[in-house]
Amino acid sequence: MLPLSVLEYFGYEGYAGDFFRAQGGIFHIVMSIVYFIAARDIDKYRILIYLTLTAKFIATVFLLGYYLIFEQIWMVLVSGIGDFLMGLCVLLLWRVYQKKPD
């Protein structure tokens, strides 16, 4: 488990729970597997491209909304911007891929 001081560095001041320390980014590991599978055969796993886009843009709305409405944790803001940029990159690359000649 990560020490609490690590979470404080990322802006989670005074957080005493175990959830973030215990989960250790498991969602990011799962999504990395999704990205890898989708990239290996884009035509076969097209649905994973849609899943990636959906996840990135929902995360963007959630994280930026949370930052603006509830707590101004800098890592939440950076994560929201990062998810938006990753989603935008996937969307633009997907559109380029769709236009390629067969």
Half-sphere exposure of 16 (CA within 13 A, CB side): 1
Domain locations in the chain? 4-98
Buried b (16+ CB within 10 A) or exposed e, 35-54: beebeeeeeeeeebbeebbe
- Out of 11-15, 36-40, 90-94, which region has the weakest mean confidence (pLDDT)? 11-15
How far is Cα 97 from Cα 26, in angstroms, rounded to an integer?
A: 29
pLDDT tens per residue across span 68-95 = 999 898 989 999 999 999 999 999 999 9
CB 56 within 8 A of CB 90: yes
